[in-house]
Amino acid sequence: MGRLNLLMSVLLSIFSVSIVLLPNLASAQLKTNYYANICPNVESIVRNVVNQKFKQTFVTVPAVLRLFFHDCFVEGCDASVIVSSTPGNTAEKDHSDNLSLAGDGFDTVIKAKAAVDSNLRCKNKVSCADILALATRDVIQLSGGPWYPVELGRLDGFISKASNVEGKLPKPTFNLNQLNSMFASHGLTQADMIALSAAHSVGFSHCGKFSNRIYNFSPQNLIDPTLNKQYAAQLQGMCPRNVDPRIAIDMDPKTPRTFDNNYFKNLQQGMGLFTSDQVLYTDKRSKGTVDLWASNSKSFQNAFTTAMTKLGRVGVKTGRNGNIRFDCGRMN
């Protein structure tokens, strides 16, 4: 009996260790040349589609970038956010936190998948998750950001449930502790979090996401005191009290169509749109990083590419945990 108990405890400990190691093993299988002998032209095929979408509308940039982030933070980077709901399942994309994801992001991935599959050598051999990761790198570069090699080899996930989204995405009201805690749960450091926050250098936000900062911040201060007064007045002009909350404004008031370190310069001037942006400067634990990257673009770009690579490893599916979807919008 004693031997049986000992054997059981050893097996349990091995099993628990394997569970802890699985995510690392999965991400370790990613490599930049994964498709070299499978679909050698995959990167240029995806890039051509992204270029075409970019020429049609700049919204492609923030749309794809947000889609990647929202995908990776729920169920990992497995293209589960792209799946459409069915009569028997409400998918991730229909959760309230994802309803503001612009259609141009989904359209980019779907068109890129069609282009890849039109190549007979590549047909049904490249995952939607990898196509999204490549498209994300491409929109960043097209808008002035850094190019970086993308690790590939992800499979598409089997699960996409709106109920899994709740509490998994950062809110615009988050403080530094809340931001650090959420990012740390995915193996991302405070520096990674600050670098990834600079995705707010491009794109737009709906008025309803920050109206509390300009109208009813607290009983003592109707306007958030950390908000630049002139900027607050501009925001009130663009987002009057009873405006349609779906009206959108640029997140970066100075260079909204360029992915750059101006995001950090804005924070220095009290011009972060969300509480979760401005807190990066008002909290002394993160202020130094903001100051560094505001003055050193190269240092920021290096940190950003590191953070994007780490983000792309989150919750990766390999082996039996995923497959390659024929249609990114529905399970096989």
**Sequence ranges of the binding site for Ca(2+):** 71, 74, 76, 78, 80, 92, 252, 255, 260
Bridge partners (DSSP) listed for residue 206: 248
Neighbours of 167 (CB within 10 A): 9
Question: What one-character-per-residue DSSP string does 236-282 give?
Answer: HHHS-TTS-TT-EEESSSS-TTS-STHHHHHHHTT--SSHHHHHHHH
Q: Take residue 151 and report the two structure tokens written for it.
A: 């690790």
Distance CA 154, CA 315 (A): 10
* 3-state SS assignment for residue 230: helix
Residue positions forming the annotated binding site for heme b: 200
Q: Which residues contact 236 (CB under 8 A, 6 or more apart)?
A: 214, 215
Distance CA 254, CA 192 (A): 24
Q: Which residues contact 275 (CB under 8 A, 6 or more apart)?
A: 172, 173, 174, 175, 210, 213, 224
Neighbours of 265 (CB within 10 A): 18
The single-letter DSSP state of residue 250 is E
Q: Which candidate in 70, 95, 186, 206 is catalytic?
A: 70
- Please report the beta strands in the chain, taking only residues with DSSP state E, as ranges in sequence order: 204-206, 248-250
The identity of residue 57, as a single letter, is: T
Neighbours of 6 (CB within 10 A): 10
* 3-state SS assignment for residue 185: coil
Output phi, psi for 328, to 5 deg: -60, -25
Residue 186 annotated to the active site: no
Q: Which residues contact 12 (CB under 8 A, 6 or more apart)?
A: none
Residue positions forming the annotated binding site for substrate: 170
Distance CA 259, CA 70 (A): 19
Distance CA 96, CA 167 (A): 11
**Residues designated as active site:** 70
